[in-house]
Structure 1
Amino acid sequence: MALNGLRAIQLNSMANIGNAAGTAPDSTEFLMTQVQQGDMSAYQELIRRYQKKVYRVISSYHRDPADAMEVLQDTFLKVYTSRSTWERRTSFAAWLYRIAINASIDRYRRRSKGRTSSLDQVPESQVQRSPHLARPRSPIEGLRQEERRRVLENAIRRLPERQREILSLRYFGEMQLEEIAQALGCPLGTVKSNLHKAVAGLKALLLDQKELLSYD
């Protein structure tokens, strides 16, 4: 299938990214075997099931929602074009998030060679469409919510790369520790140790920002 056709399918599946839960009863592994046979409806269902979680992981690398959306599209494009490399004995989630992390790092490195984007340069409409932001109850709450998000994301980006990966996969991707170990190709003990360090490091980074992160 032509890349333009795949892009169209992706955009159609991602049209309602804020409401991404799939309803099909088929297992993820079964759907992926169908995708390997060229079943585009199964491919669309996989996108619907995983797009929100994958977006959140990608957002830990890219503050600009436009960049994150491009990486999200690249990730699912890679899922389809590399579908023959997935093996049923391998966790689909681990395989998928490894693709997402690699795509995020590749784009981050390319962007770092050029102009570094600033959150201030992101159009307000794009920020409001980010799927991990709840609708604010008032303009004041909206400002506080945006500031909390900015502080949290900046703190996560300051963590060492491996700690940031593991923290994002655990809490944004909602992956089990064993799946993270498989995705990153490291021992389970290493995952646990880095997750502990990441949480402790994040708490330390946010210690001076308690008022911003308070909901009172």
Structure 2
Amino acid sequence: MLKQGVMDELSDEHLMQKYGSGDASAFEQLYLRHKNSLYRYLLRQSTEPQIAEEIYQDVWHKVIAARLTYQASAQFNTWLYHLARNALIDHFRRSATAHKYVVEDDGSHNHAESDLVDNEQAIDTTKQLMLLKHCLQQLPQPQQEAFLLKHEAGLSLYAIAEVVGEQEQSIKSRLRYALNKLKYCMQAKLGDNHG
């Protein structure tokens, strides 16, 4: 078992290989690195928090099950989000609601931060966040997925292309269209509220 400082320095791929060799602390480090962004990605892609939690647990169980056979042929986070995407697809196929990708509020607002800002600014930020979530719901699923993988999971264009099985250029186009639609939607909604 390695010390925490050394663990922080290791790549995800190396940590997964160490976990496959029996080092449970390597898995703990991987989990700590990816738990929040993975959960947010699943939550924003699913219809309710319970579904996101179920899929989240399923993905981590798959990571655990793959510890002995894992091959670092791609970046770990690309592999992880590929597992997550497949789990989402499987869930929606089973429930026959593949067309109902909905962004939900994950309720993870930091209350300490809201104490530091005045109420008006906090209300404005909350309204903007709700507006962004509303506009995300309006995006076609492939654009929404690309946007969330980029901005929630922090994946590169190449990694997103690997996760969804598309060309990088297609992902770039999806992101461009998503950003344009989000900008237009938010401007239109803000115009409605101020007019």
Q: Normalised by the shorter chain, which TM-score bucket?
A: 0.7 to 0.9
Q: Is 2:139 the partner of 1:159?
A: yes
Q: In the aligned structure 2, how far is the partner of 1:72 from the partner of 1:140?
A: 35
Structure 2 unpaired stretches of 5+: 1-5
Amino acid at match of 1:34: K
Partner of 2:3: none
SS in 1 for 2:113: coil
Matched, 1:76 2:55: no
Q: How many residues align?
A: 183
SS at match of 1:88: coil
Larger Rg: 2
Could you tell me how far apart the structure 2 residues matched to 1:69 and 1:166 are? 21
Partner of 1:206: 186
Instruction: Indicate if the aligned counterparts of 2:43 and 2:103 stay in contact, CA closer than 8 A.
Output: no
Distance in 2 (alpha carbons) for counterparts of 1:191 and 1:134: 37
| 8 Å CA contact 2:45, 2:103 repeated in 1 | no
1:50 aligns with 2:34: yes
Aligned match of 1:135: 113
Q: Deviations 1:18-68 (Å, cap 9, x if unpaired)?
A: xxxx97211111101112233221111101001122122223213644443
Secondary structure of 1:55's match?
Answer: helix
Aligned residues of 2:146 and 2:174 also touching (Cα < 8 A): yes
Determine the C-alpha separation between the residues in 2 that align with 1:64 and 1:140.
Answer: 29
For 2:56 and 2:74, how far apart are their aligned partners in 1? 21
Q: CA RMSD in A?
A: 3.4
Unaligned 5+ segments in structure 1 are 1-21
SS of 2:72 mapped into structure 1: coil
Q: Partner of 1:32 in structure 2? A: 16
Identify which range, 80-89 or 190-199, moves more after superposition: 80-89
